[in-house]
Amino acid sequence: MEKLVIEGGYPLYGDIEVSGAKNAAVAILPAAIMACKGVCAIDNIPDINDTKCILSIIESLGAKVSKNNNSVIIDSTCMTSVDANTEEVRKMRASYYLIGALLGRFKKARVEMPGGCAIGVRPIDQHIKGFEALGAKVKIEHGAVVAEAEELIGTNIYFDVVSVGATINVMLAAVFAEGKTILENSAKEPHIVDVANFLNSMGADIKGAGTDVIKINGIKELKGCNYSVIPDQIEAGTYMMAAAACGGKVNINNVIPKHLEAISAKLIEMGVHVTENEDSITIESSRDLKGVNVKTLPYPGFPTDIQQPMTTLLSIAKGRSIVNESIWESRFKHVDELKKMGAKVSVENNIAIIEGVSKLSGAKVTATDLRAGAAMVIAGLIANGKTEISKVEHIDRGYPHIEEKLNRVGAKITRIKK
């Protein structure tokens, strides 16, 4: 089990390069198996455990995968298996995208129930509702989702909750449905647009991704394409929080500033100097931070995936801040860890009330999930003394080379392999 040891208290200066978006890549890689002609050459894949896991699952289904740094070539022309049942499938949430991809291409999928971060109940009823509306029969059998259809027929589907996963998954299956599918109350996250652009590059006919109404005209086959994944909005946001918390001046490069507007707006409200450039954002902070209130919302609102790093930042901001988590009911596990470091936070239901303190002190803490881990890294960077973070494997699921990127701008982080 590896640990990160952080010596806190150093300001950050320099440049951080943001990698490709995890939540786009983990949907685009399963979508690539829908090509029955040619190969998909995909670039800007983040080097994280979640993409390694998805690639290994795709290989287990019979696709040929060759990886070179951040690029991957996927040849799924000879693929025939529709049964995703390896250990990796159960480990990660995004393996559910194989249901939509396999159901679309082969009209049959058997995918073990997905895992992922323990941040609350994570139902997939809206995914199933969409597949059934397209004409599939879906059942849960021996811990796997089994979806099957003689044919898929386009229809109107209204999602009862705004769901990133359901929007993408049903979009994948609908690419091969006969006629037109209209998805209403769709999620609008940047990675949904990215997946739609990828599918369109393969020959799909999808319009409206990025709005709440997505229209898909069914087609008969998809072919390979060349594609590059968008930059990771959440990785960028996490480094924006780190720079604001530590003080100094950091350029966060390879970003789409528009995707970061909700985060930039909150930082500006806190007194941080934020400059948007064409494809980078500069954060300048004197650490003289003002508390603010935050409510997480679907895009373009403040992202739930930045809520945990934001809680750390607010723990050292002057005055009282209130954080309302409206997407996940159990996403405050990092608070008990922050309290070990001297933060004053109380949680009631989905609301955290934070009384800012002037400093945190280093302690032994745990990365309870992916973004909680990022929150603890930021806490370690600003704390006096040494912080030791265990369960680093959670952080490695979503942040490529986190200690190298932060050490390059002045952090002091060591990975201990035990």
**Contact map string, positions 183 to 202, toward ligand EPU, x by CB under 6 A:** ----x---------------
| Closest-approach residue to ligand EPU (CB) | 165
**Contact map string, positions 304 to 343, toward ligand EPU, x by CB under 6 A:** xx---------------------xx---------------
**Contact map string, positions 8 to 47, toward ligand EPU, x by CB under 6 A:** ---------------x--x---------------------
Backbone phi, psi, residue 344, to 5°: -110, 95
Q: How far is the CB of 132 from ligand EPU (least distance, A)?
A: 12
Q: Is 327 annotated as a binding residue?
A: yes
Whose Cβ is closer to ligand EPU: residue 33's or residue 39's?
A: 33
User: Which of 57, 89, 136, 370 forms a contact with ligand EPU (CB under 6 A)?
Assistant: 370
Q: How far is the CB of 134 from ligand EPU (least distance, A)?
A: 15
Q: How many CB atoms lie within 10 A of CB 373?
A: 30
How many residues bind ligand EPU (CB under 6 A)? The answer is 25
Under DSSP, the state recorded for 393 is H
User: Which of 81, 87, 137, 161 forms a contact with ligand EPU (CB under 6 A)?
Assistant: 161
Binding segment for ligand EPU (CB under 6 A), chosen from 82-90, 157-165, 199-207, 212-220, is 157-165
Q: Is 413 in the site for ligand EPU (CB under 6 A)?
A: no
Segment (H or E) for 298: none
**Contact map string, positions 392 to 411, toward ligand EPU, x by CB under 6 A:** ------x-------------
What is the biggest distance separating any 2 CA atoms in the chain, rounded to whole angstroms? Answer: 63
131 and 111 in contact (C-beta within 8 Å)? no
Q: Is 181 in the site for ligand EPU (CB under 6 A)?
A: no
| Residue closest to 168 by CA, chosen among 90, 259, 91, 100 | 100
Q: Is 117 in the site for ligand EPU (CB under 6 A)?
A: yes
Whose Cβ is closer to ligand EPU: residue 238's or residue 387's?
A: 238
178 and 152 in contact (C-beta within 8 Å)? yes
For every residue of 225-263, DSSP letters joined together read: -EEEPPB-HHHHHHHHHHHHHH-EEEEEES--GGGGHHH
In this structure, are strands 71-75 and 144-148 parallel, antiparallel, or unpaired?
unpaired
Cis (ω within 30 of 0) for the bond into 300?
Answer: yes
Under DSSP, the state recorded for 229 is P
Whether 117 is catalytic is yes
Q: How far is the CB of 50 from ligand EPU (least distance, A)?
A: 8
Out of 40, 117, 225, 246, which one is annotated catalytic?
117
| Residue closest to 354 by CA, chosen among 325, 384, 387, 394 | 325
Separation between Cα atoms, residue 289 and residue 279, nearest integer Å: 26
User: Which of 3, 67, 122, 223 forms a contact with ligand EPU (CB under 6 A)?
Assistant: 122
Separation between Cα atoms, residue 380 and residue 392, nearest integer Å: 13
**Termini Cα distance of the chain:** 6
Tokens linked to 96: 């559910």
Separation between Cα atoms, residue 105 and residue 345, nearest integer Å: 49
Instruction: Summarize the annotated binding site as residue ranges.
Output: 22-23, 93, 122-126, 305, 327
Q: Which residues are catalytic?
A: 117
Binding-site ranges for ligand EPU (CB under 6 A): 23, 26, 93-94, 117, 121-127, 161, 163-166, 187, 304-305, 327-328, 370-371, 398
